[in-house]
Structure 1
Amino acid sequence: MSTSSPREPRPVDHLVLPTGDLDAAQSRLERLGFVVAPVGRHPFGTENVCVFLGDDSFLEFLAIGQRETCEAEARSGNVFVARDQAYRFRNGNEGFSALVVGTQDAIGDHDAFVKAGISAGAMLNFSRPFRTPDGKEDTAGFRLAFAADLRAPDAFFFTCERVNTPKVDRTALQTHENGAVALREIVLSEVNPTDFQYPLQDVINQRDVNAHSFGIDLRAANANVTVLTPQGLRSFFGIEASTTERGLRLQAFVLAVRDVAAVETLLSQNNIPFENRGSRLIVHKAPGQGAAIAFEAL
């Protein structure tokens, strides 16, 4: 009988989606029916706009604000910036680069990642101002522990400990015209998904894996993390992926919405192409939207 203590799966905290132009990203997101938070600036040269969801997760659309600062930070060992630069070098300025899970102990996570052989480098501690649309300000602090697999250069992971949560009411930022309320699923691709089972188990802190003919599923505290074969990705999401290139790639995410039909109407009014596939409505990636977004009913 096992004497090991049961794992407590981590929640998905946010997704990192590189973009070349925050204005274009904001415009695209607003046409998709999202409320977009004001621009946030990091002390290491990057900047973002975020979409906050009612389940306390969010989408981070990341751009380069000060290129010289970013380059200096990457050289000095800032893993976040270095991985962002590497992603852009290989994939261009638009995409989906990182899956971030929440934690209460980033220092412990870093030690665990080192022990498991998946640490991506030194931890990162930082803080930045946070401002709501009505002008209220506070400071948000974060502690990050990074994980990656050398076999998958185009995806990385980190745990995020919110050292100081801004004391602001985000209700207005979480009330979206498209009715999005929560992250339901994060979708990756790989020719042989089980090759990456163990690092994903360590990142999500989940022992149980559901293997099926199209890939594997792991349950985070608040969402599913799914790795699909190219055939599975095509079947479920209508997305084409290479059948020969290896390595995890972040491809799409699924959002729970109050009314899928209302989303369909909204997208039609805003001339956003979409695809109905089963019970989901899928908007494929476009400039300012680095990943496919699938909407499904709560």
Structure 2
Amino acid sequence: MSRATVPLPGIDHPLILMRDIEAGRAFYARLGFTVTPVGRHPWGTSTALAVLERSALELMGIYDESLIDGLETGGFRFGRHMRDALAEREGMALVALHSRDVSGDGAAMAGRGIATQGRIDFRRKVKPPGLDWDEAVVSLQILLDPALPRVSHFLAQQHKPHLLWVPDWMRHANGATHVAAVTYLAEDPAPVCARLGRMFGGGPAAFAAEFPTEFPTGQGHFRVLRPADWPAAFGATPMPRLTPGEPGGAAIDVAVRDLAVARAVLAGAGVATVETAAGPAIADVAGCGNVVIRFVRACAGAAGRGA
């Protein structure tokens, strides 16, 4: 199969690091999301999800620092990576890419020049609504670029997807359906665009000198902006606090079925928004976990996640 015909992995879930995950759950509930109870990873991180139809938002904290070096692969320790990133600041860390075959997709990414540290297999206890306690079985393939730690990714494969994509968890008052876009900010966009070009485009030379630049994936797209481009894309929405000189994730566009319904939910909860050309953005960037959450209109006929 040629590279042109290999299906591209899509955005599965951005990871939003928060120091108080319960406060984060409460805030995202005010935004109209149904948020799962807090679960635990074996490497010491806590997790809560807004499970959408084709992707998710993951809130992540630390519950036990003594476990952060568990399940190492290729020198990468998931818990330590998250602990160190959160110690620096809240906000978007890695972005998970949807996979049905992490080994095959990892090999494809390596063939495109993307570093991979290896595979992690783990289980965690879950109790979906209406079901007994069970174990989610998950495989990850780490795609960390040490030069771009806040613009790195991993492939995620759910071996028991029915334990995550549960109808009761996927019903959101705001009508959210999927993550439509993740926006990265970079003073020098070239390294970020080179990485995304290798992953999802025609290679490092596939981007033009004009910015912003967008990279379609198997579901959703990545957007790269310079800080000077922010007002054109996000209007008066406050910019998240990022590490000076380091590219990082700044915003997540969440597609909803009806923007009027989403606006009504936000107004009813007393959540202030900033209107942008694409839709309302949440003004309380800190409440969102040092990331901008913006609601945009879902495109009709968009492809689903699949099994």
Shared topology, TM-score over 0.5?
Answer: yes
Partner in structure 2 of residue 16 of structure 1 = 15
SS at match of 1:87: helix
Partner in structure 2 of residue 86 of structure 1 = 84
1:293 aligns with 2:273: no
Give the % identical residues: 22
Contact 1:37–1:173, Cα closer than 8 Å, also in 2: yes
Distance in 2 (alpha carbons) for counterparts of 1:149 and 1:239: 28
Contact 1:9–1:219, Cα closer than 8 Å, also in 2: no
Sort the Cα spacing of 1:245 and 1:295 in 2 relative to 1 into closer, same or farther, 3 A.
same
Contact 1:28–1:289, Cα closer than 8 Å, also in 2: no
User: How large is the RMSD of aligned CA atoms in angstroms?
Assistant: 2.8
Deviations 1:174-232 (A, max 9, x none): 111111112111111112323222322344x4338564733211101111111111122
Following superposition, the deviation at residue 9 of structure 1 comes to: 1.6
Sort the Cα spacing of 1:243 and 1:231 in 2 relative to 1 into closer, same or farther, 3 A.
farther
Distance in 2 (alpha carbons) for counterparts of 1:77 and 1:244: 24
Partner in structure 1 of residue 34 of structure 2 = 35
Partner in structure 2 of residue 231 of structure 1 = 228
Distance in 2 (alpha carbons) for counterparts of 1:175 and 1:106: 28
Distance in 1 (alpha carbons) for counterparts of 2:72 and 2:19: 18
Contact 2:193–2:207, Cα closer than 8 Å, also in 1: no
Alignment size in residue pairs: 292
**Equivalent residue for 2:59, pick from 51, 58, 61:** 61
Sort the Cα spacing of 1:293 and 1:112 in 2 relative to 1 into closer, same or farther, 3 A.
same
Distance in 2 (alpha carbons) for counterparts of 1:10 and 1:59: 17
**Equivalent residue for 1:218, pick from 215, 219, 243:** 215
Distance in 2 (alpha carbons) for counterparts of 1:200 and 1:76: 22
Sort the Cα spacing of 1:291 and 1:79 in 2 relative to 1 into closer, same or farther, 3 A.
same
Which deviates further from its counterpart, 68-77 or 127-136? 68-77
Following superposition, the deviation at residue 35 of structure 1 comes to: 0.5
Counterparts of 1:254-293 in structure 2 under 5 Å?
A: 254-284=253-283, 285-287=285-287, 289-293=289-293
Contact 1:230–1:241, Cα closer than 8 Å, also in 2: no
Partner in structure 1 of residue 136 of structure 2 = 140
Partner in structure 2 of residue 183 of structure 1 = 179
Which deviates further from its counterpart, 22-31 or 143-152? 143-152
1:206 aligns with 2:201: yes
Partner in structure 1 of residue 301 of structure 2 = none
SS at match of 2:179: strand
Deviations 1:67-104 (A, max 9, x none): 2112566799453212212211322xx21111111123
Distance in 2 (alpha carbons) for counterparts of 1:65 and 1:167: 22
Contact 2:113–2:198, Cα closer than 8 Å, also in 1: no
Long gaps (5+) in structure 2 = 299-307
Q: Which amino acid aligns with 1:219?
A: P
Deviations 1:115-151 (A, max 9, x none): 6664363421111122113343332211111123333
Sort the Cα spacing of 1:220 and 1:239 in 2 relative to 1 into closer, same or farther, 3 A.
farther
Contact 1:24–1:288, Cα closer than 8 Å, also in 2: no
Partner in structure 1 of residue 126 of structure 2 = 130
SS at match of 1:166: helix
Long gaps (5+) in structure 1 = none
Distance in 1 (alpha carbons) for counterparts of 2:165 and 2:93: 29
**Equivalent residue for 2:94, pick from 67, 92, 98:** 98
Q: Which amino acid aligns with 2:215?
A: L
Q: Which amino acid aligns with 1:54?
A: E
Sort the Cα spacing of 1:245 and 1:61 in 2 relative to 1 into closer, same or farther, 3 A.
same
Contact 2:68–2:77, Cα closer than 8 Å, also in 1: no
Contact 1:38–1:132, Cα closer than 8 Å, also in 2: no
SS at match of 1:85: helix
Contact 1:78–1:124, Cα closer than 8 Å, also in 2: no
Counterparts of 1:65-80 in structure 2 under 5 Å?
A: 65-71=63-69, 77-80=75-78
Contact 1:188–1:249, Cα closer than 8 Å, also in 2: yes
**Equivalent residue for 2:160, pick from 140, 161, 164:** 164
SS at match of 1:123: strand
Distance in 1 (alpha carbons) for counterparts of 2:49 and 2:253: 17
Contact 2:240–2:290, Cα closer than 8 Å, also in 1: no
